[in-house]
Amino acid sequence: MLNNETGNKIIDLTSHYVVLGSGLSAISTIQGITDNNTNNIKKIFVIDAGLTEEVDLRIDKRNDSIKMPSPKFKIRANRYIYEGFKSMLNITENSFQVIGSLAKGGLSNIWGATIQPYNEAELLKFPYSYAEINEAYVKTYKTLTDLDHNFYDFDEEDSDSKKFITFNPLLAINPIKNNRNSCYLKSCGDGCIYCNKNVFNSGDAIDDYVGLNKIDYMPGLFIKSIYQEDGYYFIECMDIISKNDVLIKADTIYSCLGAISTSKIVLKMSEKDNKIPLLSTPGGAFFIYSFKDFFKKNKNILSAKSFKGNADKNNFEGNIFPFSENLLCTYFGERLGSIFNFLFGKLLFSRLFIANIYFDSDLSSATIFYSKDKIQINSKIDSNLKLVFKKAIEIIKNEFLLKGLLVIPFSKKLLAPGQDIHYGGSIPMKLDPAENQCNFNGELKGFKNFYISDAASMPFLASKGQSFNCMVNAYYIASESVALQVSDPSK
């Protein structure tokens, strides 16, 4: 402990690695540090707001109303995961629906569990190739599932067709590392919409790291700002319960707070009003009816099938989810949902599916504007997006018919900007970075040993879920930076 000029306590962590946040990126960052910190002299400290269901922020939450398409956001027990985020960060929106988390484990508490690796073409803007990052793919998959997988043999059907492909999804199901009990629903199973049973949760992984003495976890600290002084970083925090200020001194920082939280921290560090891009993956949704035997083979709660294709050189990718008894019980309660399923399940609900679809971030157009400790996110629907969405649906309709699937008329809908919940690219990695950008090791320009190891540093978001690839990117940044520091301490 040190004291500053005002006599307040300063927690000195300058001899250690400091990781901000506890989401999926933080888990990969910790793993990347651990795998390359061969001398084991430096410890890893994780600073996190770390909200749990039992913690009440007692703040004005009127600004936290959301309208997200996923039923997981409609469950009262999940509200703590996203409540308080916009209020605490002082965020306003213009034609954008923002979501973020201050919870222990972040949005991994309610994520969809899909594992969708980037291919060689999708990595062209990244500092690594598919071959170079394949080992990180394998390690990250092992972290999520406790299973081995060769990504060169990724299971895709109809692989000769460049226009449209269907394939079996990879899912982050991990009964071994999931520390939570299943919920009260009789229909509860892997990926239960109510409790996310056996879906990998980074909050559980944080507990495992603590139990193995690999990290020191410091929850209950909301990070307000970070500034530099005398070659060190000072992290200004607020104790969530007592509302007292806490100051932490650090030398090496990895920001894994999520793209929006990290962006605000970085913009505040530059000490001037600024505007930066915010990438997302524009998305849509539609309903499908199975009039052949597709429904007999695909009754899981989680994604039954994945697909991808190309519409006029615009990539799209999506997943098909069954309209399961678990979904009915989540929406209507155990009793009513079970009755609906008994009466209409065989002829209707068992044959009904919900699909999502995503496009590359080239079709997104959101920006983050920072001024006077406030951020505003502005967006609009790209002029080409509606046309691309329409063409993609036409391709999907024709291809699905061959598989006994009917896209239900008038069920197609473009999501509002931000409702895809895939954010990134605001502090992108560049070969020759400018202000508010990173180099190819994830280090923020002008700020030595300050690394952006969440989706904010990703220069491109492909038309799919980003969680897995963000973890791979975080592992790369942590591995490269720590290996360099170990080999040359002056760095």
CB under 8 Å to 43, separation ≥6 — which residues?
Answer: 16, 17, 215, 216
Structure tokens given for 188: 């509860």
407 and 433 share one domain: no
pLDDT digits (tens, 9 = 90+) for 224-243: 999 999 999 999 999 998 99
CATH code for the domain of 44:
3.50.50.60
CA distance 171 to 114: 5
In the prediction, which pLDDT does 41 show?
A: 77
177 and 320 share one domain: yes
Task: Quote the pTM value.
Answer: 0.93
439 and 352 share one domain: no
CB atoms within 10 A of CB 466: 27
126 and 213 share one domain: yes
List beta partners, residue 217.
46
Q: Which residue numbers in the chain have pLDDT < 50?
A: 1, 155-161
CA distance 345 to 448: 59
CB under 8 Å to 303, separation ≥6 — which residues?
Answer: 112, 113, 114, 169, 171, 319, 320, 321
What would you report as the CA-atom Rg of the chain, rounded to the nearest whole angstrom? 22
Token match 């083979």: residue? Answer: 297
427 and 288 share one domain: no
φ and ψ at residue 76, rounded to 5 degrees = -55, -40
Token match 């390690």: residue? Answer: 139
Pairing of strands 283-290, 405-407: antiparallel
What DSSP string describes 240-283? TTT--EEEEEEEEEEE-S-HHHHHHHHHHHTTS-EEEEEEE--E
325 and 440 share one domain: no
In a 3-state reduction of DSSP, which class is residue 175? coil
Packing angle, helices 24-36 and 467-487, rounded to 10: 30
CA distance 187 to 279: 37
Token match 């692989």: residue? Answer: 159
List beta partners, residue 369.
275, 376
Q: Nearest CA to 287 among 411, 400, 168, 179?
A: 411
169 and 286 share one domain: yes
334 and 270 share one domain: no
* Structural domains of the chain, count: 2
373 and 388 share one domain: no
Sign of CA dihedral 92, 97, 103, 105: negative
The range of the structural domain enclosing residue 101 comes to 1-113+118-153+200-278+366-379+423-491
What are the angstrom distances between the C-alpha of 224 and each of 141, 175, 235, 237? 33, 36, 8, 5
252 and 137 share one domain: yes
CA distance 351 to 358: 23
In the prediction, which pLDDT does 55 show?
A: 77
CA distance 183 to 231: 50
272 and 355 share one domain: no
In the prediction, which pLDDT does 273 show?
A: 76
237 and 140 share one domain: yes
